[in-house]
Amino acid sequence: MKIAHRIDDLGTETAFAVAQAAAEWKAKGNRIFPFHLGDIDIPTAPHIVDAMNAAIADGKTGYCPGPGIPELRAVLADDIGGQRGMPVDAEDVVVTTGGKPVITKFLQTVMNPGEGVLYPNPGFPIYESQIEYLGGVPLPYRYVPTPDGFAIDLDHLRSLITPQTTALIYNDLQNPISAESTDAEREAVAKIAQEHDLWVLSDEAYFEMRYEGESRSIAALPGMQERTVILYTFSKKFAMTGSRLGCAVAPREVANIISTLNTNDESCTTHFVQWAGIAALQGTQEPVHRMLDEFRGRRDAVCDLVNGIPGMSVAVPQSTFYVFPDVTETVQRMGLTDVGEFAQQALHATGVSFCTREHFGRRQPGEDRDYIRLAYSGIGLDDITEGLGLLRDWVESV
């Protein structure tokens, strides 16, 4: 039987493949230190779970409106608008099954086949997958290392733009590299979007996952709200990755189209989960603060330990729950030429499982450094210390 041609262009989130390799190694009786997946080992807070159960008991188990229940849209509009200092109406908010569908639905709405879309590389792999799957032209823009982490190579980004470029995906508080724009960089990106009349997808999945300072949204800059779709998710902030709850905040015309796409694809987002979302936003924020405190401690430990491994170095990121160390010298020290081989050998020698730069979009021409991504959201402090200690011992033993 034949499979449709477009499937040839469909990528995936290859971190799940690393999870599979780790699970197989574990099934053979080995111990695993999981740094590979951005999932969270902290359960959803009890008051959110209670609200979900109460909604089920109360019969909130049927279909509900495609763009989301009005009560949640109103609470999200207040919260998202308030946090970002911009006016958001409930009608601008379309509830989705997590943040991820916003990527696809944004591209379906604004991009014709053959049109170019700029996106971060290394970056969340679904951007590239969906641009190609929907027949667009992928325009990956790169980052340069700085003493604090990474900065967008703005000249490179500008050089990619053609008259057929229609949109720019921007992931401030970035997965996998934990980069964060300065105000000047964010303003420069906004200026480019306006000069070239680009739609912007602002992926704000980690907007609240920060340890110092305050997050800012490109959508709140002058002239940006009317061209920007915000991807918002409950997954990270409220430890609700499996509940699948998020939303798009979009100019009204785009919001209405995304709502119609919802009706075509899912009918609606799970009804009772939306009531849990209201409890998450309106209830105590204490669990969020506790989780951030926990992650801050893990981040500090991971950065300290990584910087103690021969050949590895990383700056301490202020946000997300990833670190993206340069491991070029470590890979060389181990006598390897391929960072993927390094990851595989590390798994088998120490049980430490992680993704490499290769999992976050194709390498760009001229890229000669090797990086790995360590996610510390799914592994406790003791295991972080033990796992990275084993990794150091293994590297030192060579």
Ligand X SMILES: Cc1ncc(COP(=O)(O)O)c(C=O)c1O
Is residue 99 a contact point for ligand X (CB under 6 A)?
yes
Least Å distance, CB 176 to ligand X, is: 8
Of 84 and 309, CB closest to ligand X: 84
Structure-token pair, residue 53? 């159960």
Is residue 172 a contact point for ligand X (CB under 6 A)?
no
Instruction: Annotate 267-299 with b (16+ C-beta within 10 A) or e (fewer).
Output: ebbbbbbbbbbbbbbebeeebbeebbebbeebb
Question: Which of 69, 96, 75 has its CA nearest to residue 258?
Answer: 96
Of 124 and 376, CB closest to ligand X: 124
Least Å distance, CB 55 to ligand X, is: 20
Is residue 287 a contact point for ligand X (CB under 6 A)?
no
Of 84 and 100, CB closest to ligand X: 100
Q: Which of 68-76, 129-137, 233-241, 360-368 is the region at the interface with ligand X (rule: CB under 6 A)? A: 233-241
Is residue 171 a contact point for ligand X (CB under 6 A)?
yes
Give the binding-site size for ligand X (rule: CB under 6 A).
Answer: 13
Could you say which of 44, 83, 175, 225 contacts ligand X (CB under 6 A)? 175
Phi, psi of 98 (to 5 degrees): 90, 180
Is residue 202 a contact point for ligand X (CB under 6 A)?
no
Least Å distance, CB 279 to ligand X, is: 18
Of 100 and 330, CB closest to ligand X: 100
Question: Which of 127, 296, 291 has its CA nearest to residue 203?
Answer: 127
Least Å distance, CB 83 to ligand X, is: 17
Question: Which of 234, 174, 172, 329 has its CA nearest to residue 40?
Answer: 234
Residues 245-284 that bind ligand X (CB under 6 A): 246
> Which letter does DSSP use for residue 218 in this model?
G
Could you say which of 84, 100, 237, 271 contacts ligand X (CB under 6 A)? 100
Name residue 71's amino acid.
E
Least Å distance, CB 238 to ligand X, is: 11
Is residue 68 a contact point for ligand X (CB under 6 A)?
no
Of 109 and 174, CB closest to ligand X: 174
Query: Which DSSP string corresponds to 103-117?
Result: HHHHHHHH--TT-EE
Question: Which of 230, 158, 216 has its CA nearest to residue 188?
Answer: 158
Residues 6 or more apart in contact with residue 43 via CB below 8 angstroms: 49, 239
Least Å distance, CB 389 to ligand X, is: 27
Could you say which of 92, 172, 180, 203 contacts ligand X (CB under 6 A)? 203
Q: How far apart are CA 274 and CA 167, in angstroms?
A: 30
Could you say which of 228, 235, 269, 377 contacts ligand X (CB under 6 A)? 235
- The three-point CA angle 205-209-211 to 5° equals 155
Could you say which of 165, 166, 228, 233 contacts ligand X (CB under 6 A)? 233
Q: How far apart are CA 105 and CA 248, in angstroms?
A: 9
Residues 121-140 that bind ligand X (CB under 6 A): 124
Least Å distance, CB 203 to ligand X, is: 5
Long-range (24+ apart) CB contacts under 8 A made by 77-85 are 77/249, 79/281, 80/230, 80/232, 80/247, 80/249, 83/207, 83/208, 83/215, 84/216, 84/217, 84/219, 84/220, 84/230, 85/220
Is residue 181 a contact point for ligand X (CB under 6 A)?
no
Is residue 34 a contact point for ligand X (CB under 6 A)?
no
Q: How far apart are CA 99 and CA 318, in angstroms?
A: 22
Is residue 321 a contact point for ligand X (CB under 6 A)?
no
Least Å distance, CB 395 to ligand X, is: 28
Q: Which residues bind ligand X (CB under 6 A)?
A: 38, 98-100, 124, 171, 175, 203, 205, 233, 235, 241, 246
